[in-house]
Amino acid sequence: MIIVLRPDVTEEQFNHIIEKIESHGLRAHISRGTERTIIGAIGDESVLRNLPFEAMPGVENVMPVLKPYKLASRTFHPEKSKITVRDVVIGGDEVIIAAGPCSVEKGDTLIRTAVQVKNAGAKMLRGGAFKPRTSPYDFQGLGEEGLKLLVEAREVTGLPFITEVMETRTVEMVSKFADVLQIGARNTQNYELLKEVGQTDKPILLKRGMSVSLNEFMLAAEYILNERNHNVILCERGIRTFETSTRNTLDISSVAVLHYETHLPVWVDPSHAAGHWRWVNPLSRAAIAIGADGLLIEVHIDPENAWSDGAQSLLPEKFALLMKDIRKVAEAVGRTVSAGEGV
Ligand code: PEP
Ligand code: MN
């Protein structure tokens, strides 16, 4: 920890700060400049984390040297983590594409969509059975019935699936069906839910909340890791900004920062960032170019009649084109994207 003192710090204030540091078993390294004195607290600075040095008279600024997240950080785990879901490896050279409808609907839309996305090269299926909708009057998801439809689609296509779990009460039930549990943007900082999914043996796709900083995002992942579930995928899905031409603003730089700071695979959801299918292809290309390990994309066989997020859902033909486009970008950056069966 580095403590910068005010120019007018008194001898008494200075001695008090040094005493505080030393009484916690750390050594104070003092550097006296012409204008400022800087103190470096040497040793295990985590013991100082809850001490409000900023509150002490004579202190101008405090800078921690260590990151507040440990298990998620590259310091703790220098190599990039790989996560295996059935026969799919996430975090390797292959960029994994998960595609499917926003919500699981009654009827055969899920299966028909699943077959098409598989043919185009998707390695995983997505679909929500529990939906976090802005309005209580909107479709809330089929619940357990939806999970059963996802299992059926997995049996037909062989694609493992990602599905959202919204509350602690349903974690056990959803885990019985799902291959990957999704924590949605509205629950990124639902710490009880994070702890609960941290106790399952399922990989977790943790989405970034629309107003969550990257530091807060990594600390949210830390909650899951701290429960001994090490299989966490971080997913950027756009944040709230002043811009209104897209539903959210895709914070593309987050992919580079998260890769630098953490060892966890980083995915991008261009659909929820865009809010309109037109931007999904270019945002996907950008995501692959910057190093995303996977994409979560909404695809629907009949977007006009989708039960949720139709505007941002791609028709299967458009998805197949997107797959062709991102394959070229992947190749340019030394990655691969599956060709599927339809190419
Ligand atoms: C979703 O994936 O359908 C979803 C609701 O996403 P988010 O939590 O990112 O809004
Ligand atoms: Mn959606």
Q: What's the per-residue H, E or C state across 143-182?
A: CHHHHHHHHHHHHHHCCCEEEECCCHHHHHHHHHHCCEEE
Q: Distance between CA atoms of 85 and 62, rounded to whole angstroms?
A: 43
Residue that wins the pLDDT comparison between 43 and 285:
285
With bands split at pLDDT 50, 70 and 90, how would you rate the model's confidence at 342? low
Nearest CA to ligand 1 atom 10: 185
pLDDT at 10: 95
Q: Which bound ligand lies closest to the C-alpha atom of 184?
A: 1
Task: Quote the percentage of the chain above a pLDDT of 70.
Answer: 99
Q: Are strands 88-90 and 294-298 parallel, antiparallel or unpaired?
A: unpaired
Q: From 308, 310, 260, 268, select the one nearest 288 (Cα to Cα).
A: 268
227-271 per-position pLDDT tens digit: 999 999 999 999 999 999 999 999 999 999 999 999 999 999 999
Calculate mean pLDDT across residues 143-160.
Answer: 98
The answer, yes or no, to whether any atom of ligand 1 lies below 6 A from the CB of 139, is no
Nearest CA to ligand 1 atom 1: 102
Q: Which residues lie at CB < 5 A from ion ligand 2?
A: 102, 309
Q: Which domains, ranges and CATH numbers included, belong to the chain?
A: 2-63 (3.30.70.1140), 83-332 (3.20.20.70)
In this prediction, residues 173-181 reach a mean pLDDT of 98
- Kind and range of the H or E run holding 183: strand 180-183
How many angstroms separate the CA atoms of 94 and 117, rounded? 17
What value does the mean pLDDT take over residues 213-223?
97
Q: Judge if the beta carbon of residue 208 lies within 6 A of ligand 1.
A: no
Sign of the C-alpha dihedral, residues 210, 216, 222, 223? negative
343 has pLDDT over 50:
no
Provide the whole-model pTM. Answer: 0.91
Residue 1: predicted pLDDT: 86
pLDDT at 45: 80
Average pLDDT of span 136-147:
96
In the reported structure, the alpha carbon of residue 272 is separated from the centroid of ligand 1 by a whole-number distance in angstroms of 7
pLDDT at 49 over 90: no
- The answer, yes or no, to whether any atom of ligand 1 lies below 6 A from the CB of 300, is no
d(Cα 120, Cα 319) in Å, to the nearest integer?
Answer: 7
Cβ of 128 below 6 Å from ligand 1: yes
User: Residue with the nearest Cα to atom 4 of ligand 1?
Assistant: 184
- Could you read off the pLDDT of 263-295 as tens digits, one per residue? 999 999 999 999 999 999 999 999 999 999 999
